[in-house]
Chain A
Amino acid sequence: EAEVAQSPRYKITEKSQAVAFWCDPISGHATLYWYRQILGQGPELLVQFQDESVVDDSQLPKDRFSAERLKGVDSTLKIQPAELGDSAMYLCASSQEGNNEQFFGPGTRLTVL
């Protein structure tokens, strides 16, 4: 069964450093989402792509976060510089056009020291 892939699974960094996360959605899924999940809370959407275009980035802290999906397939989320409050699980999800179901990847757990 096809799954959303993410890497790395774990990342430890020091504050002020740059970090990047990668996501490969299920083949053929046009919509890709990046969520942030703080421990003990539900996931919160950071950015949503439809193919290569951003359709919602209203919750993305644009002064330090950036996301791209250049060819409309895989995607990268970057944080620069990382802050202590960025420690969280970063989840990627994808969905098929015409289908509301979102499939989640295993996530990248970020720890900022």
Chain B
Amino acid sequence: QKEVEQDPGPLSVPEGAIVSLNCTYSNSAFQYFMWYRQYSRKGPELLMYTYSSGNKEDGRFTAQVDKSSKYISLFIRDSQPSDSATYLCAGGGTASKLTFGTGTRLQVTL
């Protein structure tokens, strides 16, 4: 079993839709959780950073962590074509030792 599992997609949604991206993890020691966005032929770009359980909101993006079920989610409201990218989740016991999911490819269509 991989430490961080993520559906590879692709996930296709119409512009304006609410997008839900999800990951599960198996390591109970994970305290730090991150979402990165990666455009084609670019490096991962930090989107959201959460410590322990709870929600964090930043503009159109909301990250949720449920440590009891080992489940992390990213919600994107009012999705835009510019949100089309691969989204990587990551978890770790420290922010410097991360395990990444394989990424979910998102396509937002006009």
A, B bound: no
B: residues with CB less than 8 A from A are: none
A: residues with CB less than 8 A from B are: none
